[in-house]
Chains A and B, each alone.
Chain A
Amino acid sequence: MIQGLIFVIKEGFMGLVRARFSGLVATFTVAISLILLGVFLIITVNFGRVVENLRSRVELEVFLEDALNEENIQKLRGEIKKINGVSEIIFISKEMAILEFHDLFKNEQKDYFETLGYNPLPASFRVKLKEDFQTVTGAEYVFNEIITLKQINTKDVVYRKEFLVLLEKYIKIAIVVGLIVGVIVCISALLLVSNNIKLIIFSKATIIETMKLVGATRFFIQVPLHIQGTVQGFMGGVVSALFLYGLMRLGSVEISGLINVSWKIYWSLTLMGALLGVSGSFTAVRRYL
């Protein structure tokens, strides 16, 4: 039995050296399929992240009458907080509004308030929304709830409705395009892998037939082929992960923070490579055993 185990392991690894060409083609094919899938995954994940980031910036600004005293402001804050969909309220006082104004216009309007002689900017609440409410309908619901409150007029509450409408429109287009591209990528990857499996089947036909004829058991036939399939697929996964990592570094897109690629993607590609390889050898064995 030990003699047999040594043989199947040795035969598995020797097979990689013996069938160098078909092994390289198999590894390359798996790598190409996984690079396609990897690029698609990176784009999808990062698109989702960008959308989430843009949506999280959506907020309602509630401008307050100058006449409101501290007590009224706190009361109003409490009432807004109770509205379903509100996650956070930031109070911007009249003084903070001036600082923001300066920050926004830099040096252009430096003496504006001195010339005017008073601060015309109102205090305000910035109302941030919960994730589920970062949509056109969600924001509109919170908007309608706020304007029903006493002391608040419609024109006192503003939010970037047009931006949200535009964002949702582009998200819908992106989802449709993403689905089409995703299907094409998956079909291409499957076609490449199935071709790879045919190649494995073709290259292993004689050896499987010979093994069967001389009385090898299933164990002796299968194990070396599975070792080869797993190693070739794993190598394909490693090549695809290294290629994508290099591409990200080369394009400096990851460093600049434009695209964020989690290590999970690289590990997933490597694991998927090994799985594709072993599934190829399983198919080859099933075809000839």
Chain B
Amino acid sequence: MIRIHNASLKYATGDGLDRINLEIKSGDFVFLVGPTGAGKSTVLKLIYMEEFPTEGYVVVQDYNSNDISYKEIPYLRRTLGVIFQDFKLLDDRDVFENVAFALRVTGTRSRDVKRRTLRALADVRLSHKSRKMPHELSGGEKQRIAIARAIVNEPSILLADEPTGNLDPKTTVEIMNILEKLNARGTAVLMATHNYELVNRSSKRVVSIKNGRTLS
């Protein structure tokens, strides 16, 4: 499903990744842990192909970083869902439209947009807030909307970059429950975090990254 093989990437600042390896199979739940600046976000960027390795390669589903064309990248991303610490919601439209956006920009039929958006909102238990604007929501609710947007395309892999970084402990547990529920339905989850307490409480697989190298 995802295979990163000896991938290196150097930024001008000197940071980057050094021959990292990672394999994620269908239905896996993997924590990617490491201190700030270790390269966790860069690993995720390699997977959704915002960045490309200078050495080695990344394979996601049927797409290989060595031979993917620029035009194929949007189609690769439709097989992934991505969520971030800062939610990246569009402030100029309501909750329903934020989630539906992921379907509309991929040319989905209006009838299907409505059905699938309502289902994704139900998955994160926010159907009742579909007409609220993002600024009317709490941090936890915003992240749940971001998750709904990430899963509305029914991706087989969910990438989460510090999804609980801005949330209090109670809301963190709520978000984790949603991610675990999605994982139980078969979606592979790769979650980057530096919240070791959260990781220790879980029995999921953990991959550590430090100074751009994977340790385990």
Please give the residue numbers on chain A whose beta carbons come within 8 Å of chain B beta carbons, in ascending order.
1, 3-4, 7, 11, 18-19, 206-207, 209-217, 220-221
Contacts and interface: CB of A to CB of B under 8 A. Distances in A.
B12 interface: no
Given A4-B107, A7-B107, A206 B153 contact: no
A214 B101 contact: yes
A18 B93 contact: yes
B92 interface: yes
A225 to B, nearest CB: 12
Contacts of B77: 212-215
B106 A215 contact: yes
A220 B107 CA distance: 9
A3 B111 CA distance: 11
B75 A210 contact: no
Given A4-B107, A216-B74, 15 more contacts: A3-B108, A3-B110, A7-B107, A18-B92, A207-B90, A211-B105, A213-B48, A214-B77, A214-B101, A215-B74, A215-B77, A215-B102, A215-B105, A217-B71, A220-B106
B153 A210 contact: no
Given A3-B110, A18-B93, A215 B88 contact: no
B88 A213 contact: yes
Cβ-closest 9 pairs across A and B:
A215-B78, A216-B105, A4-B107, A18-B92, A215-B77, A214-B102, A215-B74, A220-B105, A217-B74
B58 interface: no
Interface in B9-27: none
**Quick one: which of A209, A216, A220 has the most chain B CB within 10 A?**
A216
Interface SS majority for chain A: helix
B170 interface: no
B194 interface: no
Contact of B90 (A210, A212, A220): A210
Nearest to B152: A214
Interface in B97-151: 101-102, 104-110, 149
Contact of A213 (B71, B82, B109, B110): B82
A206 B106 contact: no
A19 B82 CA distance: 25
Contacts of B105: 7, 211, 214-216, 220-221
Contacts of A206: 88, 90-91
5 contacts: A4-B107, A18-B93, A210-B88, A214-B149, A217-B74
Most interface-central of A7, A19, A221 (chain B CB within 10 A): A7
B138 to A, nearest CB: 20
Interface string B139-182: 00000000001000100000000000000000000000000000
Nearest to B81: A214
Contacts of B90: 206-207, 210
Contacts of A220: 105-107
B189 to A, nearest CB: 17
A36 B80 CA distance: 50
Nearest to B83: A213
A217 B106 CA distance: 7
A212 B105 CA distance: 10
A9 to B, nearest CB: 12
A205 to B, nearest CB: 10
Given A214-B153, A215-B75, A7 B104 contact: yes
A1 B107 CA distance: 7
Contacts of B110: 3
A3 B88 contact: no
A217 B71 CA distance: 8
B153 A215 contact: yes
B52 to A, nearest CB: 15
Nearest to B78: A215
B107 A210 contact: no
Contacts of B104: 7, 11
Nearest to A289: B70
B170 to A, nearest CB: 28
A4 B113 CA distance: 12
A19 B92 contact: yes
Interface string B173-207: 00000000000000000000000000000000000
A18 B153 CA distance: 25
Of B75, B77, B104, B110, chain A has the most CB atoms within 10 Å of the CB of: B104
